[in-house]
Amino acid sequence: MDLYTKNWFEQHGECLDEWQKSAYKDFVNMMGDGENPYPCIPGIQGFLSNTLRFGFAGSPKDEGSYKQLADLLKQYGKVSRNTGKYASLVVFFDSRELVQEEATIEEYQDQFWTILNQVHKLDEEEWPEHIPKEPHHHEWEFCFDGEPYFAFCATPAHVIRKSRQFPCFLIAFQPRWVFDEINASTTFGQKLKRAIRKRLNAYDGVDTHPALKWYGQQDNYEWEQYFLHDDDSSLSKCPFTAMMNKFKKIQS
């Protein structure tokens, strides 16, 4: 699997499959909408500065897609720190079958957590010592190949929360280090948070989901933010069970 840049698409994008060209074009349109600006300011800056990296995977229902994503993450972890301060990996999945089936938010949610669990099983590295293994800990984050990531999912089924709507199934992975300068302990981070929240409310037309909090807050759970519902609800338990079960077996 290959990682692509904005510059690569501009020069070679025509050689891609039609669904891949369409997915990237939709992403460009979303990032470049001046009349209705996308809420994630760092994401837009990352796109404009050629900091983002992109990848493609097969259907979210296909087991082969798990290895494709694992390969992309492994490649990305080795180069992310050299790409720029607003680094992210954006992965587009071939969602044509799911779109045709009119898959629901709940079905996409199941696919998302299945993917994270299966990709975790392909991880050859130990879980980072500084990241808790329990998802219901306020400092937990999904990790792969020794790198903690914030995962963001968007789907064709989202309607109300337009910031989580995309024509194909999309997962973006932001390395945890990206947030070092934009967290609640910095003045810049506090200003950025207010600006993002203001744009988010305008973009979605509804109040911010109650799960959206700062990493490290005692009442914050990162996994709740990975996949947001269209309403204000959240799952009662994190579906990412692979790590917990493995950890419990080691303890017993």
SS3 per-residue string spanning 59-72: CCCCHHHHHHHHHH
Any idea where the domains of the chain sit in the sequence?
A: 6-251
SS3 per-residue string spanning 184-231: CCCHHHHHHHHHHHHHHHHHHCCCCCCCCCCCCCCCCCHHHHHCCCCC
| 47-55 average pLDDT score | 96
User: How many angstroms separate the CA atoms of 119 and 65, rounded?
Assistant: 9
**CA-to-CA dists, residue 160 to 110, 117, 183, angstroms:** 19, 27, 27
pLDDT of residue 49: 95
pLDDT of residue 242: 52
pLDDT digits (tens, 9 = 90+) for 148-182: 999 999 999 999 999 999 999 999 999 999 988 77
| 55-74 average pLDDT score | 97
| 73-88 average pLDDT score | 95
Contact (Cβ atoms closer than 8 angstroms) between residue 170 and residue 31: no
